[in-house]
Chains A and B, each alone.
Chain A
Amino acid sequence: MTAPKESDYGTPKRLGAKEITLEIDGTEVVVPEGTSLMRAALEAGIGIPKLCATDSLEAFGSCRLCLVEIDGRKGYPASCTTPAEAGMKVRTQGSKLSNIRHGVMELYLSDHPAECRSESGSGVSEMADLARTLGVTDIRYGDAVRTHLGAIVDNSNPYFRFDASRCIVCSRCVRACDNIQGTFALTVEGRGFESKIVASMDQSFLESECVSCGACVQACPTDALVEKSVIEKGAPDRSIVTTCAYCGVGCSFRAELKGDELVRMVPEKAGRANHGHSCVKGRFAWDYASHSDRILKPMIRSKITDPWREVSWDEAINYAASELKRIQAEHGRFSVGGITSSRCTNEETYLVQKLVRAGFGNNNVDTCARVCHSPTGYGLKTTIGESAGTQDFDSVEHADVILLIGANPTDAHPVFGSQMKRRLRNGGRLIVADPRRIELVRSTHVQADYHLQLRPGTNVALFNSLAHVIVTEGFVDEDFVARRCEKPSFEKWRTFIAKPENSPEAMASHTGVPAELVRAAARLYAGVGVKGSGPDGRVNSAIYWGLGVTEHSQGSTAVMGLANLVMATGNFGRPGVGANPLRGQNNVQGSNDMGSFPHEFTAYRYVGDPAVRGSFEAAWGVKLWAEPGLRIPNMFDAALDGSFMGIYVEGEDIAQSDPDTEHVTAALSAMECVIVQDMFLNETAKYAHVFLPGSSFLEKEGTFTNSERRVSRVREVMKPRAGYADWEITQRLSNALGYPMHYQNAGEILDEIARLTPTFKGISFDKLDRVGGVQWPCNDEQPDGTPIMHMDEFVRGNGRFMMTEYVPSEERSTRKYPLLLTTGRILSQYNVGAQTRRTHNVAWHGEDRLEINPHDAEDRGVKDGDWVGVTSRAGEIVLRALISERMAPGVVYTTFHFPETGTNVVTTENSDWATNCPEYKVTAVQVMPVMQPSEWQKRHRQFTEEQLALLQQGETEAESAELQDQRA
């Protein structure tokens, strides 16, 4: 439990090396040079009134409440804008200062609703609190004065309202939008008393460019901008710090409660991944937890055509266990398996793989990272020895050149996107490689130097041609390579990459990117013409990538290609550089770390390694299988072969998120027992026999590990609505299966992980509570974790260059399927949408749309908003078109947030050669105007209706049974 609010020191912390001493109200204060008088005083516990100042923003000096007196200076300087100087003697109190502050507050209140000052106010207004503190009650200007009290309230945003009558035009919202979020949606219009805050061109917030990150709401010192949940539920009185369950940024939040009710989520300033910022999802889209679609009772059925039957936990668990045992008895030890999710905590994921390995007695466990970042893990492990990004997020602040590939941070990792934008506004240079013209290519105050708009599926060709320029134009960091890398592998690679067929000119026919652009981008990445901010003026170049790199048939090759580039240019082992995968989901890194893959125990240790396996056998008290188990796609194939008949799926919706949906649903239909543990009756659950109601991240204890390897605490904000945290359900299933588990709490699971995993040594709830998020590896040398890896040497010793021959994808445009479809996310929705679709985020994105270049649309007679059929060799779907210049001709794009779209009906079984990561990013399709839904969509609609009816039937029966019980 923590205080309801974080301290606010008014102006940002200064990290000056030089410390100065001054005197404030007779107290000696020591601060770093450049610190404001306000911060110096507040840090020393000396209160100074303020409204326009907040420590997440640079000082502005508008409210004039923080005035002080300084010996030897005339007037009353504002403490927020006056830097502390050595020897200064400052007074923060006095009758003159009191008069000025009183006068200013009286002016504010003369143009402010009276109820703000009374008990009936929102309770979250800094100004109301300050007015009380200053004791300003009598407003002498009277009522017959000009005010803004009649201003129209903007309620357009579903999550917050803007009431201009409560606005003091301090610009905190504007500055937050500009400097923290980087969207520049807000501005001050008019001047003097007519000044007002407007969104975009004086539009409603919802219509404007506002991305609803909420930074403005958080910054507002009155309740002009305030969460609607605060208006509805009242001011929070306590808070619990936890970690967001959306993307891989892993923002730290203070869940603010009134009593036991969650009122709002406020990003924590002390959060090391997010520094007090958030996006629309994390801050606002948490109401799904209390959505009426939540299933709160366990259910079973023997056939998927049967109605669901609500049963007790015991009955459900026992039924599931008995089915798994029956299947193993009938079809053998390897006929069952489990799937973990990157949305679960480390502890939950760990427990599922433990259940599979120790309880099922096989290694048939896999995770959804299979379908996103498995090539990242493989590629980095192979080249530098660790399956993780090398830096912390803050490293980007030191990057001089950023190469962003196949990632769209402003939508998919918004908080990091904002941090990157800030770096770019401060002089960082940017190269974007993406088939789409993503926001970072050009947006307010951000412009990429180069946009390499490559054809989908040609990453390796592009990376090879970039590397070719590095090698042939003399940009190799020979010293770094000699010291840190394997010489033979480098020499072999150098020879390979220097070949003419890898030149930008030769590769241009594949990538579609003009050779000169590639050469220029490579030179920029190599630091040509850039003023370096690294040691000795070295240019720091950093690569960031997302699923646009991995979800390809050559995904692993591409990751190795990037690692080669980083090694060749010596961009490892210091702030501002590195190889930085942006993880899709909140716990992709963690679920991988936790041994979710069929061939690896925790921390990527091979199941066939006797020493490693021995350590687990000793700890778990059971003999473990030494051979890797089935990967997800193998499970589906085996199900259709009749050899894989039972599956336990925790928190993952394979029927929506995995490629080639019809193949997946056929496999699920073929199984005899599908156990789904989830909050909602998701697509997979429609094929399930046992439904175990899971809990949201707000309802449990545990940890998530974000993209920067930071292990952060997830804390219980409310009791699990269905009764159990997910790890408890797994434990009960294990016990029912006959493999006993006896954890009293999630912390004990983490303790076990730490005991069995060298890179997690010493990580515990206690440590995380004490020091905050910790980046693994955490061990005796780095007891508080490792922000930047591979500093002096690579984890594998010397870096290993890998051959990266470009092999074109088999999926290519043909006469029949002339367009290339690539898929991804959008800001307001998250993955399969199970959470975000059940929030007001649908106000921004209520359906999946097919983005298509105007030229391609024109060719097909498609107008914006028309229904179009998208056909691939795998299937057909129908959705509405969104004509967009962001798309290159020949490339179309859509999202996969809505199950009724069935985006993955058209994606194919093609996958990465090394890890089976699906080739979501390249599907050859045809797009044509249509009048009705696709056949699949019709079937899906009918199937969904049937399944909802079966659910309804089960609930009705349970209710009548309950009624009878009550009567009896």
Chain B
Amino acid sequence: MSITVFVPRDSSALSLGADLVARAIVGEAARRGADIHLVRNGSRGLFWLEPLVEVATPEGRIGYGPVAPEDVNALFECDFLHGGDHHLRLGLTEEIPCLKKQERLTFARVGITDPVSLDDYRAHGGYRGLARAIGMSGGDVVEEVTQSGLRGRGGAAFPTGIKWKTVLGTEAPQKYVVCNADEGDSGTYSDRMLMEGDPFALIEGMTIAALAVGADHGYIYLRSEYPYAKQVLDEAIANARDAGYLGADILGSGKRFELEVRVGAGAYICGEETSLLDSLEGKRGMVRFKPPLPAVQGLFGRPTIINNVISLASVPIILDRGWKYYHDYGMGRSRGTLAFQLAGNVKYPGLIEKAFGVTLRELVRDYGGGTATGRPVRTAQVGGPLGAYLPVHQFDTPLDYEAFIAIDAMLGHGGIVVFDDTVDMAQMARYAMEFCAIESCGKCTPCRIGSPRGVEVMDAIIEGRDRQHNLALLRDLCDTMLNGSLCALGGMTPYPVLSALRHFPQDFGDAPAKGA
């Protein structure tokens, strides 16, 4: 009986040498005549432990990490294949506190299963949601999703069920389901982890969405920087099609759903849903105005569900366990869980799926273990490059959509980037403008001209030129961008700028803010 060894194929693990480790293990096993079965699983999301090698034992999966290729020989020597002791031994992986404390609903299988194994997927509860959905009316499926309280995990937090209802209710000869997998926010990676670690969850979610609203074609718009995700998705889609989960007659229901992966061309703005649709149509990715909503006139002018990876991948469990199960997590109007992504200057970076309501302090301190540099935390940017910088005194705000809006911040896609006390917030404000200038599609004026002007004004402030004039100009410019921009890129770039200015005025040459 062979022993199953897990070495992640997730990009984060690969970047830390997982392939070399896997090769070393296979080579060493062969040399020693050990009968092993290597599974290339997804990542558990505990990046400081990657490559995290696991071995299936009668007691459960024992983790070792971070493993370097040169450790492999020693691991064999310690009989790690039977859970042997070694200084890299972590014990039962699921008992690792950072993992154990999480509430993994969407990521329940990520890091556990073989991402492209349909059997593994089904063995872990996969495709039960679809099986149930096939027996329901489209309207009932939409209602289930609506009741669950699921909101768009891409950042806008629009109720998913409402979006679906619009598509369902719009008569058209053709409808589409599009997955926005253009995960471009700095410090975010949950989409990638999900696609690399459990692609069937996304495929199943999209299939349920398609059947619910009567779409027969879907696209995953994947950013070009995720080549491994593309491999995994393509393989998983092929496997699903071969098994009748995709194609002309899904599970004998007589319903068709075709799915394909389309790769973007490196523009951040194509993560904005309407630009994404333009790009998918083969056009230059430019932001469309709304209305018409994509749910009414989306891809190729047809009603289109366009949702983020995590939103869609959360659907199977909602259909499987019922809306109430999911709804029971969270707080206020933020129901279920969010896959927070801890990054930046943090000791233990990684993915933390928790119900809404956890605080930033808990995540940064209890999960992240403070900064990697050991210096005091000064701020964290939540929600990607367009998110606000929060001072430490706001770290007790519960991570909840509405609570964050109340402090002029946002949860966005759940990315959290931590900074220590050496950060220069004026430079961070400048960076926000620069990011916008580089990534602007160039359609609307506040973003196209405003963002380079923002960089120039910040340069003047940083150099101390005519500071009061330029600070006033910066505030006016932020106001113009905030209120005048066509989409969230220009419209939210002022968030990091103004939050930096508000909470850390001393970095801009002003007096310190109260309470800072």
Q: Which of B26-34, B330-338, B479-487 contacts A (4 or more CB under 8 A)?
A: B479-487
Task: Provide the residues of chain B in CB contact with A110, threshold 8 Å.
Answer: 449, 453
Give the size of the chain B interface in residues (CB under 8 angstroms).
36
Query: Which A residue sits closest to B291, measured CB to CB?
Result: A83
Complex CA gap A158/B476 in Å reads 43
B444 touches A194 (CB 8 A): no
Task: Provide the residues of chain A in CB contact with B441, threshold 8 Å.
Answer: 191-192, 195
Give the size of the chain A interface in residues (CB under 8 angstroms).
38
A188 touches B442 (CB 8 A): yes
B448 partner, pick from A61, A187, A192, beta carbons under 8 A: A192
Complex CA gap A667/B456 in Å reads 78
A62 touches B443 (CB 8 A): yes
Query: Which B residue sits closest to A82, measured CB to CB?
Result: B291
Q: Mark B122-163, 1 if CB is under 8 A from A, else 0.
A: 000000000000000000000000000000000000000000
Task: List residues 272-292 of chain B with CB under 8 A from any CB of chain A.
Answer: 284, 286, 289-291
B445 touches A64 (CB 8 A): yes
B469 touches A140 (CB 8 A): yes
Interface residue? B269 (CB, 8 A): yes
Interface residue? A108 (CB, 8 A): yes
B453 touches A141 (CB 8 A): yes
Query: Which B residue sits closest to A97, measured CB to CB?
Result: B483
Q: Which of A99-107, A260-268, A724-732, A837-845 contacts B (4 or more CB under 8 A)?
A: A99-107
Q: Which of A73-81, A297-305, A751-759, A808-816 contacts B (4 or more CB under 8 A)?
A: A73-81
Task: Provide the residues of chain A in CB contact with B479, threshold 8 Å.
Answer: 99-100, 103
B453 touches A103 (CB 8 A): no
Report which residue of A81, A103, A144, A145 has the largest number of chain B beta carbons within 10 angstroms of its beta carbon.
A103
Complex CA gap A63/B442 in Å reads 11
Complex CA gap A63/B289 in Å reads 12
Interface residue? A770 (CB, 8 A): no
Task: Provide the residues of chain A in CB contact with B446, threshold 8 Å.
Answer: 64, 103-104, 107
B442 touches A194 (CB 8 A): yes
A61 touches B486 (CB 8 A): yes
Interface residue? B92 (CB, 8 A): no
Q: Mark B433-467, 1 if CB is under 8 A from A, else 0.
A: 00001111111111111111100110000000000
B65 to chain A, nearest CB (A): 41
Complex CA gap A99/B477 in Å reads 10
A77 to chain B, nearest CB (A): 9
Query: Which B residue sits closest to A63, measured CB to CB?
Result: B445
A100 partner, pick from B269, B440, B473, B480, beta carbons under 8 A: B480
Query: Which B residue sits closest to A107, measured CB to CB?
Result: B449
B445 touches A108 (CB 8 A): yes
Interface residue? B380 (CB, 8 A): no
Complex CA gap A171/B441 in Å reads 13
Task: List residues 480-501 of chain B with CB under 8 A from any CB of chain A.
Answer: 480, 483-486
Interface residue? B201 (CB, 8 A): no
Interface residue? A906 (CB, 8 A): no
B282 to chain A, nearest CB (A): 12
Complex CA gap A171/B442 in Å reads 11
A192 touches B486 (CB 8 A): no
Interface residue? A588 (CB, 8 A): no
Interface residue? A420 (CB, 8 A): no
A193 touches B444 (CB 8 A): no
Task: Provide the residues of chain A in CB contact with B457, threshold 8 Å.
Answer: 141
Report which residue of A63, A78, A141, A188 has the largest number of chain B beta carbons within 10 angstroms of its beta carbon.
A141
Interface residue? B267 (CB, 8 A): yes
B456 touches A145 (CB 8 A): yes
Complex CA gap A169/B441 in Å reads 11
Complex CA gap A104/B483 in Å reads 10
Complex CA gap A108/B437 in Å reads 15
A69 to chain B, nearest CB (A): 10
Complex CA gap A146/B289 in Å reads 28
Interface residue? A190 (CB, 8 A): yes
B267 touches A191 (CB 8 A): yes
Task: Provide the residues of chain B in CB contact with A100, threshold 8 Å.
Answer: 479-480, 483-484
B449 touches A67 (CB 8 A): no
Q: Mark A127-153, 1 if CB is under 8 A from B, else 0.
A: 000000000000011001110000000
Task: Provide the residues of chain B in CB contact with A67, threshold 8 Å.
Answer: 483-484
Complex CA gap A104/B446 in Å reads 6
A339 to chain B, nearest CB (A): 53
**Nearest 4 A/B pairs, CB to CB:** A103-B480, A195-B442, A192-B440, A61-B289
Interchain Cβ contacts under 8 Å between A and B, 10 examples: A64-B446, A75-B483, A104-B445, A111-B449, A146-B456, A188-B442, A190-B442, A192-B439, A192-B442, A193-B451
Besides A64-B485, A192-B441, A193-B440, 20 more A-B contacts (Cβ < 8 Å) are: A62-B445, A64-B444, A64-B446, A67-B483, A67-B484, A76-B484, A81-B291, A99-B479, A103-B480, A104-B484, A107-B445, A110-B449, A110-B453, A145-B456, A188-B442, A191-B267, A191-B269, A192-B438, A193-B437, A193-B452
